[in-house]
Structure 1
Amino acid sequence: MNRLIDIFSFSEDFPLIFTQANFWIFFAVIYFIYAIVYSKKSLRSAYLFAISLLFYYKTSGLFIGILLFSTVNDFFLGRAIYKSRSVLVQKTLVAISVIINLGTLCYFKYAYFFTESYNFLFQTDYEVINYLAQWTNTWSGVDYFTVDKIILPVGISFYTFQTISYSVDIYRKQIKPLTSIIDFGFFVSFFPQLVAGPIVRAADFVPQIRKEITITKKDFGQATFMILKGLIKKMLFADYIAANFMDRVFDVPEMFSGFTNIMAMFGYSLQIYGDFSGYTDIAIGLALLMGYKLPVNFNSPYKAIHCGDFWRRWHISLSSWLKDYLYIPIGGNRNGSIFSYTFILIFTFLGVFAISDYSIALLAASGIGAMLIITLFSPRLAWHFNRNVNIMITMLVGGLWHGASWKFVIWGGLNGIGIVAYKYWRKISPYEESKAWYVLLWRIALTFVFITFTRIYFRGNSMDHIDRFYQQIVTNMDWPNALAVLWEYRMVFIVMLLGYITHWLPYRTKGWIENAFIKSNMLVKAVVVIAVAIVCYQTYAADFQPFIYFQF
Structure 2
Amino acid sequence: MNRLIDIFSFSEDSPLIFTQANFWIFFAVIYFVYSILYSKKNLRSAYLFAISLLFYYKTSGLFVGILLFSTVNDFFLGKAIYKSKSVLLQRSLVAVSVIINLGTLCYFKYAYFFTDSYNYLFQTNYEVVNYLAQWANTWGAVDYFTIDKIILPVGISFYTFQTISYSVDIYRKQIKPLNSIIDFGFFVSFFPQLVAGPIVRASDFVPQIRKEISITKEDFGRASFMILKGLIKKMLFADYIAANFMDRVFDVPEMFSGFTNIMAMFGYSLQIYGDFSGYTDIAIGLALLMGYKLPVNFNSPYKAIHCGDFWQRWHISLSTWLKDYLYIPIGGNRNGTIFSYAFILVFTFLGVFAVSDYAIALSVTSVVGGILIVTLFSTKLAKHFNRNVNIMITMLVGGLWHGASWKFVIWGGLNGLGIVAYKYWRKISPYENSNAWYVILWKIALTFVFITFTRIYFRGNSMDHIQRFYEQVMTNMDWQNALIVLWEYRMVFIIMLLGYITHWLPYSTKDWIESLFIKSNMLIKALVVMIVAIICYQTYAADFQPFIYFQF
Same fold (TM over 0.5): yes
* Cα deviation digits, residues 153-197 of structure 1 (max 9, x gap): 000000000000000000000000000000000000000000000
SS of alignment partner, residue 195 of structure 2: coil
1:26-64 deviations in Å (ceiling 9; x for gaps) = 000000000000000000000000000000000000000
Q: For structure 1, which runs of at least 5 residues remain unmatched after alignment?
A: none
Contact 1:355 1:463 in 2 (8 A): no
The answer for the alignment partner of 2:522 in structure 1 is: 522
2:483 is aligned with what amino acid?
A: L
Alignment-derived partner of residue 217 in structure 1: 217
Aligned amino acid, residue 508 of structure 1: S
Quote the offset at 1:542 in angstroms.
2.2
Q: Deviation per CA, 1:420-472, whole angstroms, max 9, x where unpaired?
A: 00000000000000000000000000000000000000000011100100110
- Name the residue aligned to 2:49: 49
Residue of structure 2 in register with 1:186 after alignment: 186
Distance 2:74 2:184 in 1: 9
- Separation of aligned partners in 2, 1:424 and 1:102: 34
Aligned to 2:531: 531
Structure 2 letter corresponding to 1:48: L
Alignment of 1:349-360 (within 5 A): 349-360=349-360
Q: Which residue of 1 aligns with 2:61?
A: 61
Deviation at 1:12, TM superposition (A): 1.8
Determine if contact 1:77/1:97 at 8 Å carries over to the other structure.
yes
Measure the CA separation in 2 of the matches of 1:191 and 1:315. Answer: 18
Cα separation, 2, equivalents of 1:26 and 1:501: 34
Separation of aligned partners in 2, 1:379 and 1:14: 59
Query: Residues of 1 paired with 2:143 and 2:194: CA distance?
Result: 29
The corresponding residue for 1:334 is 334
- 2:390 alignment partner AA: N
Q: Secondary structure at the match of 2:324?
A: helix
- Tell me which moved more, 83-92 or 372-381: 372-381
Q: C-alpha separation between the residues in 2 aligned to 1:522 and 1:175? A: 41
Once the two structures are superposed, the pairs formed by residues 282-297 of structure 1 within 5 Å of their partners are 282-297=282-297
Distance 2:550 2:311 in 1: 20
Matched, 1:312 2:312: yes
**1:253 and 2:280 aligned:** no
Q: Deviations over 1:261-295 (max 9, x none)?
A: 00000000000000000000000000000000000
Which AA in structure 2 matches 1:313? R
- Given the alignment of the two structures, is residue 385 of structure 1 paired with residue 385 of structure 2, yes or no? yes
CA deviation vs aligned residue, 1:493-544 (integer Å, no higher than 9, x gap): 0000000000000000000000000000000000000000000110122211
Greater alpha carbon shift after TM alignment, 118-127 vs 376-385: 376-385
Q: 1:541 maps to which residue?
A: 541
Q: Matches of 1:372 and 1:404 in 2, distance apart?
A: 28
Cα deviation per residue 1:313-365 (whole Å; 9 max; x = unaligned)?
00000000000000000000001111111100100110111122222212221
Superposed CA offset, 1:181-215 (max 9, x none): 00000000000000000000000000000000000
Q: Does 1:266 align with 2:277?
A: no
**Paired residue secondary structure (1:140):** coil
Q: Distance in 1 between matches of 2:137 and 2:231?
A: 41
Equivalent AA in structure 2 for residue 234 of structure 1: K
Distance, in Å, in 2 between the alignment partners of 1:259 and 1:335 is 45
| Aligned twin of 1:489 | 489
Cα separation, 2, equivalents of 1:359 and 1:501: 49
Report the 3-state secondary structure (helix = DSSP H, G, I; strand = E; otherwise coil) of the residue aligned with 1:139: coil
Counterpart of 1:72 in structure 2 is 72
- Counterpart residue number, 2:232: 232
Q: Distance in 2 between matches of 1:180 and 1:375?
A: 50
CA distance in 2, matches of 1:96, 1:12: 34
Q: Which amino acid counterpart does residue 410 of structure 2 have in structure 1? A: I
Q: Structure 2 counterpart of 1:117, which letter?
A: S
The whole-number CA distance in structure 2 between the counterparts of 1:389 and 1:217 is: 49
Deviation at 1:239, TM superposition (A): 0.2
Q: Which residue of 2 aligns with 1:431?
A: 431
CA distance in 2, matches of 1:46, 1:146: 32
Which residue of structure 1 lines up, in the alignment, with residue 417 of structure 2? 417
SS of 2:138's partner is helix
TM-score (norm 1): 0.99
Q: Where does 1:490-505 land on structure 2 (aligned, <5 Å)?
A: 490-505=490-505
Task: Render the CA deviation track for 1:295-316: whole Å, top value 9, x for unaligned.
Answer: 0000000000000000000000
CA contact (8 A) 1:414 1:454 kept: yes
Aligned to 1:153: 153
Gaps of at least 5 residues in structure 2 are: none
Query: How far did residue 415 of structure 1 move?
Result: 0.2
Matching of residues 3-14 of structure 1 within 5 Å: 3-14=3-14
Q: Determine the structure 1 residue equivalent to 2:394.
A: 394
Runs of 4+ in 1 over 4 A off after TM superposition: none
What amino acid is the match of 1:67? L
SS class of match (2:45): helix
Per-residue deviation, 1:143: 2.5
Match of 2:39 in 1: 39
Distance 1:368 1:70 in 2: 38
1-structure distance, mates of 2:384, 2:370: 15
SS of the aligned residue for 2:271 comes to: helix
The alpha-carbon deviation at position 141 of structure 1 amounts to 4.0
1:400 is paired with a residue of what secondary structure?
Answer: helix
Provide the residue aligned with 2:204 in structure 1. 204
Q: Secondary structure at the match of 2:139?
A: helix
Counterpart of 1:280 in structure 2 is 280
Q: What is the aligned-residue identity percentage?
A: 88
Return the offset for 1:132: 0.4
Alignment of 1:124-143 (within 5 A): 124-143=124-143
| AA partner of residue 369 (structure 2) | G
Shift of 1:376: 2.4
The alignment of Structure 1 onto Structure 2 pairs a total of residues equal to 552
**1:160 partner letter:** T
Map of 1:363 onto structure 2: 363
Q: What does residue 94 of structure 1 align with?
A: 94
Question: What is the match of residue 405 of structure 1?
Answer: 405
Distance 1:182 1:421 in 2: 47
SS in 2 for 1:110: helix
Separation of aligned partners in 2, 1:518 and 1:142? 53
- Looking at structure 1, the residues matched to 145 and 47 of structure 2 have their Cα atoms a distance apart, in angstroms, of 30
Counterpart position of 1:112: 112
Segment of structure 1 superposing worse, 98-107 or 368-377: 368-377
Q: Out of 355-364 and 285-294, give the one that drifted further.
A: 355-364
In 1, Cα distance between the equivalents of 2:365 and 2:476?
35
Provide the secondary structure at the position in 2 that maps to 1:331: coil
- Paired residue type of 1:99: I
Q: Paired residue for 1:448?
A: 448
CA–CA separation in structure 1 for the residues paired with 2:504 and 2:325: 32
Shift of 1:14: 2.1
TM-score (norm 2): 0.99
What is the distance in 2 between the residues matched to 1:266 and 1:276? 16
